[in-house]
Structure 1
Amino acid sequence: MSATRVFVARLAGCSVFDPAGDRVGKVRDVLVVYRKNDPPHVVGLIVEIPGKRRVFMPIGRVTSIGSGQIITTGLINVRRFEQRGGEVRVIAEMLGRKVTFNDGSGDATIEDVGIELGDQGEWDISQLFVRRPKSGASPFAKGATVFVQWNEVREKSKGGQAQSAEQLIATYSDLKPADLASTLLDLPRERMFEVAGELSDDRLADVLEEMPEHDQVGILTRLGDARAAEVLDHMQPDDAADLIAQLPEERGEQLLDLMEPEEAEDVRFLLTYASDTAGGLMTTEPIIVSADSTVAEGLALIRRHDLAPALGAAICVTLPPYEPPTGRFLGMVHFQRMLRYPPHERLGTLLDQGLEPVTADTSAAELSRILASYDLVSVPVVDENHRLVGVVTIDDVLDYLLPDDWRSHDGNDDVQRRAAARNKLNTGSIPLPGARGRGAEQATPSGRRRTSGTS
């Protein structure tokens, strides 16, 4: 059954189907245009199709809206969406804006927008769900909410100008970091900076890890030093090192000095390696336990909600100490193998005897061959004394092999991407990218880079 009035925030994430029942994408926003005397007119939907690409779907191709799904005629132009002048995104730009009641009763903030199907088969904005300012002194008090018609209020700013990022963040609170990063990248640049600045430190850290480097730098540049350091503290050390390496040397040193000492030490350590080596790609925060630890203890560590899936696929077993660089590396125990043994079994008896660690100067090309040949998702990295210094995960290797702007590709250039990956896999032609090693102008014979501020 098709609804005649729908609130836009509830459409976010709804599946879009063709007449045959095949899912073609999901709704990310609703696009409207302002009119002089009438309420804004809905011109279409912004739909995310496979490949995380946003495309425009004219509202005329929507045949039904209801029950959390949208049915279309099945015709979709897969050209990447580009916003035109005069067009306004409801979720990205209208939610959170300020309005004033025409009766003089005060101001309010738009929390949701209702669109309605008219007699002529066109969708227009009909109602607004708004919240008045809180009246009580209690920090838990909230202003009253009310439904109003579009013509009962007027905007306090120019049409389409965003006022607050809070409502947008709330609307996208359930998105995974990669999806939220893609959503932010699709916003107008100033709006992206505004929304990023309103995210919590840990949420912003997760999102930055999923963004291209130039966008990471752009967002971090807009943050004050104290806030930027807090965000870097929440990032994986290897991702933080990659980001700091893109910054001017002076700013990078300032941020390192403001970071938590332990986090900064890990980042400084990673900055000493070239980015096309195991040392440059590894993370220094794998799960590390003693040989006497049990299967039950290992599984408890894997269950941590903040642990990346690739790091949870295996546990490293070493002699003390258990922080990189550890005592002598003994081996790894894979998650699946732990599931086959009783909880009291010692992890030292379950080591994968066939898995050899790599050294920090192992090339990215060799790492990719090891991961592919042995169906692994992570490889341990040891120093000359066979002490564990980190782990390289498959996502970091893929991130290196793919083109620098792979997140913004629209899926029409697979040949070029495969060619770029092949070039990087050619051990005779892998360049030493300038991405990592701040102040590093040349590589040492060992493949590492000379960096300032490190030893």
Structure 2
Amino acid sequence: MAGELIYAFRVMRLPLLDAGGSPIGQIEDLVAIPGRPASRGQPAVAPRIVGFVASSQRRRIFVNANRVEELNSDGARLRSWDVDLNPFKPRPGEVLINAELIDRRIGTETVSDVGLLQAGDGRSTWWEIDKVRLSRRGGIGRRPTYRLADASELPGLFDSPTAMEAEAARLRDFHPAEVAAVVRKLPDAQRRQIAHAMDDERLADVLEELPEEEQIRIVEGLDRERLVGVFDEMEFDDLADLLGQMSHAQQERMLDVMDDEDEEVVRRLLSYEEGTAGGLMTPEVIILGPTATVAEALAEIRNPDWVVSIAAQVFVCQAPFKTPTGRFLGVVHMQRLLREPPAMEIRQIVDDCPTVLPDTSDAEVAEQLASYDLLAVAVCDAAGRLLGAVTVDDVIDRMLGTEWRKRHRPTRSTGSVTP
């Protein structure tokens, strides 16, 4: 439907199709974010659709607009076969077209539909809200009248309660590093506002991309309930790095909001010297026993919550299967798993691999990763128990030093607020 106006009500009657064209759900609503008027030499940005709410397998799920390959009269067809079945959660700054916008009163008129127009920049495409269909009730015995208005004529229709909520919504699909670059340009008051507008998972991702001192300034402004939610979403190694920059009193306050198990893990990480494998490692890796099957290992690797460097291999250990584990046996790499039958036990394909001790220097860790072409190297104690792993991205972070995150990095045009 490129180049032609498509109405939201029409989209909300379409099936959600997998990459092969088979129906897997039904679209129920569209999720929009605010636009931005032209200002300071920047062009206006129209409100746009960032995704669709669909019912699938008795769940209401969110489908990112970037994952839709084609939208036509047959339905919304996905680019890939993967479907995120996590329940849909509305975020601050977003507007649900059907649930919140349709039937909204504007003076003597009522919003009855919105018209979408496909747009693009040569690299990607999206759907902008171009028109708003307004109806006016007729007199006794008269039919309602309708008119089409440009979305730009109704600038307040898609506005969020605050500018920072609108900004957080516009940044939804940006990489956390790009969002962090935007946040760093804001004064402290606006940083706190945009942090408040982000959900816990998004704020955790952005914090991990900021220098520690800037993380501290944001974290100190969060109440206890928000700290619990954000810390629960952060990686343990990033959390330990953050607390490692705080005073003892600040550390104890932050540790106090964690549950006992998480607190124990973070305290253990804080006990290692900076610049060592222990200080760099993450205790959250994929761990299975030797009798687990190839199918079970691949199922773990498919979990989208694992970062690429962790999902590249499975660490095989004797029980218990949580760090610190039983005796470490070796690793099975993803490529090997893809070549073997699903029912095979992974003990048959375990690779012997180098390990490092917690007090191994970061330079020696980097040499091991480079020498064996690894994305992660196991950290074991003197008894051969797995404590965690150091990933190549953490080593690169260390090699770049503490100042690299402060240097300016280009970001996509967002229509961001200007301090």
Is the TM value for this pair above 0.5? yes
Q: What's the counterpart of residue 241 of structure 2?
A: 242
Q: What's the counterpart of residue 395 of structure 2?
A: 397
1:58-97 equivalences under 5 Å are none
Judged with a 3 Å threshold, the aligned counterparts in structure 2 of structure 1 residues 104 and 411 are, in CA distance, closer, same or farther, namely: closer
Structure 1 stretches of 4+ with a deviation exceeding 4 A read 29-33, 145-150
Q: What's the counterpart of residue 383 of structure 1?
A: 381
CA positional deviation for 1:375: 1.0
Q: What's the counterpart of residue 256 of structure 1?
A: 255
1:255 maps to a residue whose letter is M
Q: CA RMSD in A?
A: 3.7
1: distance between equivalents of 2:43 and 2:406? 20
CA positional deviation for 1:283: 0.4
**Structure 1 contact 30–44 (Cα < 8 Å) conserved:** no
CA positional deviation for 1:240: 0.4
Judged with a 3 Å threshold, the aligned counterparts in structure 2 of structure 1 residues 383 and 167 are, in CA distance, closer, same or farther, namely: same
1:196-275 equivalences under 5 Å are 196-275=195-274
2:354 maps to a residue whose letter is E
Q: What's the counterpart of residue 371 of structure 1?
A: 369
Unaligned 5+ residue runs, structure 2?
A: 4-34, 45-92, 96-105, 109-129, 133-147, 411-419
**Structure 1 contact 205–234 (Cα < 8 Å) conserved:** yes
* Aligned length in residues: 289
1:43 maps to a residue whose letter is G
Matched, 1:362 2:360: yes
Normalised to the residue count of structure 2, the TM-score between the two structures is 0.61
Q: What's the counterpart of residue 186 of structure 1?
A: 185
Q: State percent identity of aligned pairs.
A: 39
CA positional deviation for 1:405: 2.0
2: distance between equivalents of 1:410 and 1:31? 26
2:366 maps to a residue whose letter is S
2:338 maps to a residue whose letter is L
**Structure 2 contact 327–385 (Cα < 8 Å) conserved:** yes
1: distance between equivalents of 2:321 and 2:155? 62
1:336 maps to a residue whose letter is Q
Q: What's the counterpart of residue 195 of structure 1?
A: 194
CA positional deviation for 1:222: 1.1
CA positional deviation for 1:190: 2.5
Unaligned 5+ residue runs, structure 1?
A: 4-28, 34-41, 47-93, 97-102, 106-126, 130-144, 155-161, 413-455
CA positional deviation for 1:340: 1.1
**Structure 2 contact 354–368 (Cα < 8 Å) conserved:** no
Secondary structure in 2 matching 1:262: helix
**Structure 2 contact 181–408 (Cα < 8 Å) conserved:** no
1:348 maps to a residue whose letter is R
1: distance between equivalents of 2:309 and 2:342? 22
**Structure 1 contact 212–407 (Cα < 8 Å) conserved:** yes
Judged with a 3 Å threshold, the aligned counterparts in structure 2 of structure 1 residues 331 and 153 are, in CA distance, closer, same or farther, namely: closer
1: distance between equivalents of 2:166 and 2:409? 31
Q: What's the counterpart of residue 171 of structure 1?
A: 170
Q: What's the counterpart of residue 329 of structure 1?
A: 328
Q: What's the counterpart of residue 318 of structure 1?
A: 317
1:242-284 per-position Cα deviation (integer Å, ceiling 9, x unaligned): 1112223222212212112222111111000012000000001
CA positional deviation for 1:410: 4.1
2: distance between equivalents of 1:248 and 1:31? 44
1: distance between equivalents of 2:406 and 2:37? 22
2: distance between equivalents of 1:340 and 1:178? 35
1: distance between equivalents of 2:385 and 2:150? 64
CA positional deviation for 1:31: 8.6
